[in-house]
């Protein structure tokens, strides 16, 4: 993959520095590789175990491809000091590819055995070429090489890449779950079994750091197990796998597992399970080098198409570029003219599933393997196109959003500089101050204590960030504080005659109640106020207690507000929540003042005989403070936490019975009993109120149907509050005449 590696390196260089695409020379690529190994070596020099791994990788990828024909490189270690000095000298002095200017250092093809950097290491010749090359030692420790050192000579693993790797018949077997390991590829594998880790470390120390790696079949890969990398039965894995070399075994930070880095060399066939282990030991047959027709036009066409598609995918997908660069660090070159290696390389880069990749592993025909790899690459290209389109759309939306935001901010700043627009905080502060001015225009006045709190909160608001939670809390608090009708009152109407007309228009009968209400309004006219009076209407359901309260508000010319305390067990409903709570709100009385916009509304507290009591407090005790004329002049809601004058509010309560009303609360109220209706009164109520109401709701003509006297008697009920429900079916009958 030299061409692809060069293109990836060029693309990376273009992104960082070069203004235009520029290909690197082979010497520059080798220099980049040497520097990457050098950085890794300097970083891990303190770890003795890291040196052999780096040496194996460096020698396998840098020295072996350049060794003289017929020779085999074998490195023996005398001491880690010499070992590190050798690697540093090789990489820093450049004896791999380029002849150094320093005297005594020659090309690797003509190693100066007397050079200090190479003492203890030798270039050995295989048996076939020993006679032809007498100057290079054959086997053993090598002639003319000082291998004594410190007397602790230890052989490293026999080195070889691909076809040069040893062909061991019996090896440890491991399994992968998702992807097979391809020859010439590097892949990490998690190890959770300690016995397997110990066996691999022992094999590495003995110079036999090789394993056979097989892909588990899907039906076994999905079964959860304690040690998924182990093979218990040959039927669990595909029979065709990869003979791989162990490059490094590292322990995880938590110490629960290890990670081994494997480099694939050649394909193997699983023949027999020798030991179940763990780890499992198997007998394998190594694949011989496969033949192909070098002159086949089909193979050439496939090869060219794969190379072109690789270039296209690398251009579109940055992840492919990174993977290619990582692979090039270990393998450096992929022979693009070898169809088998090219197909393996292309397939290993894709994100295809394990079964599809296993088919590539098992294929022995060059054309078919290339075809399979091309199919996988084509799908990867389409996926990369979709990802590129999605990325482009997302970037476009983000760019457009940033552009709009930038323009809006510029627009706001320009208008602010010209005085045409103010900041949101300035607008809020202006809105709150405008409310206070409107309050003064309506005749109100903010108490001095409350005015100080408002001024303090406005200053606090201006110093807070708009996105902070404290800003929203302060804004809501100011919204309630400035919405209170301080000193704004409705003018009372003490016309007794007008009050009588309103009561008669809305209610039939109840003469005792109307007389008491006339007296109540007459006393208020003499005193100039009706404050201090707490009226409680007691009677059965449906006799008009609530509507009487509404008529009183209309007769006095005041706003009307009703809320029910039936079943209420939380005192916060009356006195509000403290602002420290999430979602805190003022109590019902503060909400009443904001809704009505006056400080003297008529407030009807319904069903006071059904007050509850819970762990949140006693609402009846809260009502004592509310209804006490001596205390409600400075009522303090928990949310506002400032005194609010409720002394001008006329409180009217309703109840069905007095038995369940607490005594102290009952003592503060003047009880007016509202009795039920007799039959003539019910008939008259139906004629005057219920039947006209039912006709209007049914959408009938103003000229109502005539209802006979006996029908009036039939439709009335005992309470008088639900008679309109009996009238609705009659009113809804269509007139077909």
Domain chopping of the chain, boundaries: 44-155, 162-286, 424-481, 496-673, 679-731
Interval 669-697 mean pLDDT: 74
Q: Is 605 in a helix, a strand, or coil? A: strand
Q: Are strands 650-655 and 534-538 parallel, antiparallel or unpaired?
A: parallel
Number of H helices, E strands in the chain: 25, 17
List beta partners, residue 636. Answer: 643
- CA distance between the termini of the chain: 97
What contacts 24+ positions apart, CB below 8 Å, involve 135-143?
136/71, 141/76, 142/74
Nearest CA to 215 out of 173, 263, 265, 179 is that of 179
- The answer to whether the peptide bond before residue 279 is cis (omega within 30 degrees of 0) is yes
**Token pair 């003319």: residue:** 144
Q: Determine the average pLDDT of the residues in 481-510.
A: 81
CB 588 within 8 A of CB 563: yes
What is d(CA 662, CA 679) in angstroms, rounded to the nearest whole number? 34
Count of Cβ atoms closer than 10 Å to residue 401 Cβ:
10
Look at residue 226 and tell me whether its pLDDT is greater than 50: yes
Contact status, residue 489 vs residue 599, Cβ threshold 8 Å: yes
Cα–Cα distance, 481 to 458 (Å, whole number): 11
The full DSSP string for 643-671 is: EE--TT-EEEEEES-STTS-HHHHHTSEE
CB-count exposure of residue 395 (10 Å: 0-12, 13-18, 19+): exposed
> What pLDDT is stored for residue 335 in this prediction?
64
pLDDT at residue 607 tops 60: yes
Q: What is the mean pLDDT of residues 649-664?
A: 88
pLDDT band at 303 (very low <50, low <70, confident <90, very high): confident
Predicted confidence (pLDDT) per residue in 313-328, tens digit: 777 776 666 665 555 4
Picking from 576, 566, 545, the residue whose alpha carbon sits closest to that of residue 671 is 545
Residue with token string 């091309």 = 374
Q: Which residues contact 532 (CB under 8 A, 6 or more apart)?
A: 629, 647
Cα–Cα distances (Å) from 275 to 97, 230, 283, 420, 672, in that order, read 45, 12, 10, 87, 101
- Which pLDDT band holds residue 81 (cuts at 50, 70, 90)? low
Top mean-pLDDT range of 16-30, 293-307, 689-703: 293-307
* Bigger pLDDT: 125 vs 71: 71
Best-predicted range by mean pLDDT (261-275, 497-511, 688-702)? 261-275
Tell me, what's the pLDDT at 355? 86
- The residue ranking higher by pLDDT, 684 or 444, is 444
Stretch 258-269: mean pLDDT: 86
Handedness of CA 505, 509, 510, 512 (dihedral sign): positive
162-286: CATH class: mainly beta
The overall average pLDDT reported for the chain is 72
Q: Is the pLDDT of residue 452 over 60?
A: yes
Residue with tokens 């780096």: 54
Determine the pLDDT at residue 135.
35
User: What does the pLDDT average to over 624-633?
Assistant: 82
| Dist CA 38 CA 58 (whole Å) | 10
Q: Check pLDDT > 50 for residue 144.
A: no
Tell me the C-alpha distance between 57 and 49, whole Å. 13
Q: Which residues contact 482 (CB under 8 A, 6 or more apart)?
A: 432, 435, 436, 454
For 185-221, the pLDDT digits (tens) are 888 888 888 888 888 888 877 767 889 999 988 887 7
Quick one: pLDDT at residue 268?
92
Model confidence at 14: pLDDT above 80: no
> Residue 626 has what pLDDT?
84
% of the chain surpassing 70 pLDDT: 66
346-355, 383-392, 597-606, 689-698: range with lowest mean pLDDT:
689-698
What contacts 262, CB < 8 A, 6 or more positions away?
Answer: 181, 186, 187, 188, 189, 211, 213, 244, 245, 246, 247
Is residue 296 pLDDT above 60, yes or no? yes
> How high is the pLDDT of residue 713?
56
Specify whether the CB–CB gap between 262 and 181 falls below 8 A. Answer: yes
Residue 634, classed as helix, strand or coil, is helix
Position with higher pLDDT, 19 vs 375: 375
Listed in sequence order, the DSSP H helices in 418-495 are 424-441, 448-462, 469-481
Which of the two residues, 427 and 573, has the higher pLDDT score? 573
Instruction: Give tens-digit pLDDT for 334-354.
Output: 567 788 888 888 888 888 888
Confidence of residue 545 (pLDDT cuts 50, 70, 90): confident
Q: What is the CATH number of domain 496-673?
A: 3.40.50.300
Average pLDDT over residues 99-116: 34
Strand spans (E) along 141-185: 154-155, 170-176
Residue 615 has pLDDT above 80, yes or no: no
Instruction: Decide if pLDDT at 150 tops 50.
Output: no
Residue range 163-172, pLDDT digits in tens: 677 888 888 8
**460-495 tens-digit pLDDT:** 888 787 778 888 888 888 889 888 998 888 887 878
Average pLDDT over residues 356-370: 88
């Amino acid at each position: 993959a030299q061409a692809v590696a060069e293109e990836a390196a060029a693309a990376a260089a273009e992104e960082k520095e070069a203004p235009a695409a520029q290909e690197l020379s082979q010497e520059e690529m080798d220099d980049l590789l040497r520097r990457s190994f050098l950085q890794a070596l300097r970083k891990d020099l303190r770890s003795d175990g890291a040196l052999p791994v780096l040496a194996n990788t460096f020698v396998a990828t840098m020295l072996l491809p350049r060794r003289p024909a017929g020779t085999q490189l074998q490195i023996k270690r005398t001491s880690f000091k010499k070992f590190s000095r050798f690697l540093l000298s090789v990489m820093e002095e450049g004896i791999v590819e380029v002849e150094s200017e320093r005297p005594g250092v020659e090309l690797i093809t003509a190693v100066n055995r007397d050079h200090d950097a190479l003492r203890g290491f030798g270039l050995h010749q295989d048996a076939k070429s020993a006679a032809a090359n007498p100057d290079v030692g054959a086997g053993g420790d090598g002639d003319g090489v000082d291998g004594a050192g410190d007397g602790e000579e230890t052989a490293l693993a026999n080195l070889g890449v691909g076809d040069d790797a040893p062909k061991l018949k019996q090896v440890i077997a491991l399994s992968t779950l998702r992807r097979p390991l391809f020859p010439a590829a590097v892949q990490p594998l998690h190890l959770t079994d300690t016995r397997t880790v110990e066996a691999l470390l022992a094999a590495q120390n003995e110079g036999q750091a090789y394993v056979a790696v097989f892909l588990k079949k899907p039906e076994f890969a999905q079964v959860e197990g304690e040690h998924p990398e182990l093979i218990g039965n040959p039927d669990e894995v595909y029979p065709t796998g990869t003979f791989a070399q162990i490059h490094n075994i590292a322990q995880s930070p938590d110490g629960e597992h290890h990670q081994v880095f494997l480099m694939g060399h050649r394909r193997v066939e699983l023949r027999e399970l020798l030991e179940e282990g763990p780890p499992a030991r198997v007998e394998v047959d190594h694949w011989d080098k496969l033949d192909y027709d070098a002159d086949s036009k089909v193979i050439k066409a496939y090869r060219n198409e794969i190379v072109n598609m690789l270039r296209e995918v690398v251009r579109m997908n940055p992840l492919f570029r990174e993977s290619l660069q990582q692979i090039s660090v270990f393998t450096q070159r992929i022979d693009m003219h070898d169809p088998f290696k090219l197909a393996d390389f292309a397939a290993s880069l894709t994100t295809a599933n394990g079964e599809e990749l296993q088919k590539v592993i098992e294929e022995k025909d060059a054309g078919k393997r290339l075809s399979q790899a091309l199919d996988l690459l084509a799908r990867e290209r389409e996926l990369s196109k979709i990802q590129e389109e999605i990325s482009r759309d997302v970037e476009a939306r983000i760019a457009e959003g940033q552009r709009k935001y930038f323009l809006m901010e510029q627009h706001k700043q320009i208008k602010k500089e010209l005085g045409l627009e103010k900041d949101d905080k300035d607008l809020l502060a202006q809105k709150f101050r405008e409310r206070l001015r409107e309050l003064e225009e309506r005749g109100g006045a903010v108490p001095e204590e409350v005015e100080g709190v408002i001024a303090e909160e406005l200053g606090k608001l201006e110093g807070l960030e708009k996105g902070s939670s404290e800003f929203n809390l302060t804004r809501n608090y100011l919204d309630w504080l400035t919405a209170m009708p301080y000193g704004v009152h409705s003018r009372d109407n003490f016309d007794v005659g007008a009050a009588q007309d309103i009561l008669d228009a809305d209610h039939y009968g109840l003469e005792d109640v109307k007389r008491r209400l006339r007296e109540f309004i007459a006393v208020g006219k003499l005193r100039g106020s009706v404050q201090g009076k707490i009226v409680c209407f007691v009677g059965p359901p449906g006799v008009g207690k609530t509507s009487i309260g509404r008529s009183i508000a209309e007769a006095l010319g005041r706003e009307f507000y009703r809320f029910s305390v039936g079943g209420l067990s939380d005192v916060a409903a009356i006195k509000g929540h403290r602002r420290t709570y999430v979602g805190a709100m003022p109590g019902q009385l503060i909400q009443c003042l904001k809704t009505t916009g006056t400080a003297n509304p008529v407030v009807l507290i319904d069903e006071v005989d059904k007050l509850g009591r819970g762990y949140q407090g006693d609402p009846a005790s809260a009502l004592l403070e509310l209804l006490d004329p001596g205390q409600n002049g400075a009522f303090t809601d928990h949310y506002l936490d400032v005194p609010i004058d409720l002394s001008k509010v006329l409180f009217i309560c309703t109840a069905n019975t007095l038995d369940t009303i607490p005594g102290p609360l009952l003592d503060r109220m003047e009880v007016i009993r509202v009795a039920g209706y007799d039959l003539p009164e019910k008939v008259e109520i139906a004629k005057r109120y219920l039947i006209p109401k039912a006709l209007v709701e049914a959408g009938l003509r103003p000229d109502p149907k005539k209802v006979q006297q006996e029908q009036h008697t039939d439709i009335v009920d005992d309470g008088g509050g639900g008679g309109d429900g009996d009238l609705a079916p009659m009113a809804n009958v269509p007139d077909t005449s």
